[in-house]
Chain A
Amino acid sequence: MEDEVVLLDFWPSSFAMRVKIALGEKGIKYECKQEDLFNKSPLLLQMNPIHQKIPVLIHNGNPISESLIILQYIDKVWNHKSPLLPSDPYRRSQSVFWADYIDKKMYGIVRRIWMGKEDQEEAKEELMQCLKTLEGELGDKLYFGGESIGLVDVALVPFTTWFYTCERCGDFSIEAGCPKLVAWAKRCKENYQSVSDALPHPHQIYDYVLQLKKKLELA
């Protein structure tokens, strides 16, 4: 019997992109349903009543929410190829630690940069600090996962489509401060189709944010 896999998606969401990369890596066929976050579908409210957020993965009718939990679920269920996590418990704990670090930092910082309010300068500094810390963790490896992409790469790379938006809104260069990380992002997109397929063009994100800012100022 074939698996039925549905993803409740929102195309600019870095969290949803993570799931699309993982599904792509594992070669899983799925149906992608776009959500309008200003008018959430009854399916989303039913499948994620607690947080009412995307992404939600619905596997044979069963919902899984929270992108890092979804990634670990996908890795466990479809363990036939492209492992996202190492099998050694210590190395696993380190991967989950860094993915969690990205969760704690990136979304909030990026939001404060594109919102362009009084805390923008502080957010820009925090972003560079955060990316430098991650550069330190990457070290001389090709990917955070080592020779191939892993949980941390999948957790972080979607935020790189938002770099152009941050640079335009914040008037600064991320590549100048973190060349290694920018090179890593290029490497992911060039060598992994699952990544290039899942990530919208950075200019599309910028257009979306400009429209969103207009909408929020009017609201």
Chain B
Amino acid sequence: MADELVLLDFWHSPFAMRVRIALAEKGIEYESREEDLSNKSSLLLKMNPVYKQIPVLIHRGRPVCESLIIVEYIDEVWPHKSPLRLLPSSPYDKANAMFWADYVDKKIYPSGKLVWGATGEVQEAAKKEMIENLKELEGELGDKPYFGGESFGFTDVALIPFYTWFYALETCGDFSIIEECPKLVAWTKRCMQRESVSKSLPDQYKVYCFLMELKNKFEAK
């Protein structure tokens, strides 16, 4: 029985990708509605009046907003759909998983945006910051197969969508991620072997083209 689940989506959004991955991991059926972000639907404006952004998960008519909050909600409501819980049950391990997911939001997203979106000194500074950030993440990963340990977990879901930015970051920033962070790249390949991930992520080159269009639009203003 369909649980009346609708995802207000945008194919290229790394935040929406997180939700698609979580739903796929749990094998949950849902209706995906692609939003036109230059012409937001009245449903989006009604369901997320505070930020007017995607992703929004609408479950039995009630909205949940903010990607990490949505992923946690999915993990709590559907624990039975999979032997895997995305979040650990131990309070300390859970806090650690949330810390690193929050790190992705606070560090990777803002510095990444400036690497593909800015130029000159701002871009150079962002590139240095980004490489440092990726190395910090690599440090946290260590020798584990996933950030979640033996199993794919919350931090993995939070970070892997930014893999779709790699081509754009390397091209715009003129650096090689595999040279700087080989272990992290190995982790991305491991994640991409999961159907939940490979089916939820757009192609890197298409994302690059999309981001360059965005950059041009912004510069034109």
Q: A residues touching B (Cβ–Cβ < 8 Å)?
A: 50, 59, 62, 64-66, 69-70, 72-73, 76-77, 89-90, 92-93, 96-97, 100-101, 133
Contact = CB atoms under 8 A, between A and B. Distances in A.
B59 A69 contact: no
A133 B25 CA distance: 35
Nearest to A49: B136
Given A92-B76, A97-B64, 17 more contacts: A50-B136, A64-B95, A66-B98, A66-B102, A69-B99, A70-B95, A72-B94, A72-B98, A73-B91, A73-B95, A76-B91, A77-B91, A93-B72, A97-B65, A97-B69, A101-B50, A133-B50
B94 A89 contact: no
A211 B131 CA distance: 37
B153 to A, nearest CB: 16
A172 B122 CA distance: 36
B66 A64 contact: no
Contacts of A101: 50
B92 interface: yes
Interface string B81-101: 000000000011011001100
Contacts, number: 50
B102 A93 contact: no
List 4 A-B pairs, minimum CB-CB distance, nearest first: A89-B76, A76-B91, A93-B73, A73-B95
Contacts of A97: 64-66, 69
20 contacts: A50-B103, A59-B92, A66-B99, A69-B95, A70-B95, A73-B95, A76-B91, A77-B91, A89-B76, A90-B73, A92-B76, A93-B64, A93-B69, A93-B72, A93-B73, A96-B72, A97-B64, A100-B69, A101-B50, A133-B50
Nearest to A98: B50
Nearest to A100: B66
Contacts of B92: 59, 62, 64, 73
A89 B77 contact: yes
A77 B162 CA distance: 32
B99 A89 contact: no
B62 A90 contact: yes
Q: What interface size band does chain B fall in?
A: 20 to 34
A69 B98 contact: yes
B135 to A, nearest CB: 12
B94 A76 contact: yes
B109 to A, nearest CB: 13
Given A66-B99, A66-B102, A133-B50, A90 B91 contact: no
A70 B94 CA distance: 11
Interface in B97-137: 98-99, 102-103, 136
Interface centre among B59, B69, B77, B136 (most CB of A within 10 A): B69
A8 to B, nearest CB: 15
Contacts of A93: 64, 69-70, 72-73
A65 B136 CA distance: 16
Interface string B47-67: 000100000000100101110
A76 B99 CA distance: 16
Contacts of A90: 59, 62, 64, 73
Contacts of B62: 90
A100 B76 CA distance: 19
Nearest to B70: A93
Contacts of B69: 93, 96-97, 100
B64 A69 contact: no
